[in-house]
Structure 1
Amino acid sequence: MTTNPAPAERTLDVREIDGEPFDDIVAALESLGENDRLRLIAPFEPVPLFEVLEARGFTHESNRQEDDLWHVLIEHA
């Protein structure tokens, strides 16, 4: 009997990135294993990203933590 490794959750805080974070987000998504998740931390809800995620086969759940703090949990659909 083989067991699947436990899903890993990686975190990417885009508040720490100088400039446009899109390439960093895409690189993080491409490195995700099939059962892994990415927790994106952003200063706003990244609504334009959601269509990109869907087109690439990911689902997301966004949660507002504070006025200028959002967590978006991203995983393979």
Structure 2
Amino acid sequence: MATNADADAHLDAREVEGAPFDDIVAALDELGGEDTLVLVNSFEPEPLYDVLEERGFAYEAEQIGPDEWKVYITHV
């Protein structure tokens, strides 16, 4: 699994006002071919997984605490 040290970009969805989907998509659009985005969320963002797969991304999710998930996202 990737780590924070491997991350080229970081987005904490808990700090985004409103729905974070547009911010997530913008971060994905800026991600280079070998880059890793770490998405932090207060819950496992399962609805996002289909979108990631459709856009050609792989992901690994890890629960850090009761209200903290990290999803490591890379290009396939």
TM-score higher than 0.5: yes
Q: Which has the larger radius of gyration?
A: 1
Q: Which amino acid aligns with 1:26?
A: V
TM-score normalised per structure 2: 0.90
Q: CA RMSD in A?
A: 1.1
1:32-58 Cα shifts (integer Å, max 9, x gaps): 000001000000000000000000000
Higher helix fraction (1 or 2): 2
Aligned length: 71
Identity of counterpart residues, as a percentage?
52
Equivalent in the alignment of 1:73:
72
Equivalent in the alignment of 1:16:
15
Query: Which structure 1 residue ranges, 4+ long, deviate > 2 Å from structure 2?
Result: none
Runs of 5+ unmatched residues, structure 1: 1-6
Contact 1:8-1:35 within 8 A present in 2 as well: no
Equivalent in the alignment of 1:59:
58
Runs of 5+ unmatched residues, structure 2: 1-5
Q: Which amino acid aligns with 1:40?
A: L
Going from structure 1 to structure 2, the CA distance change for 1:67 and 1:10 (only over 3 Å counts) comes to same
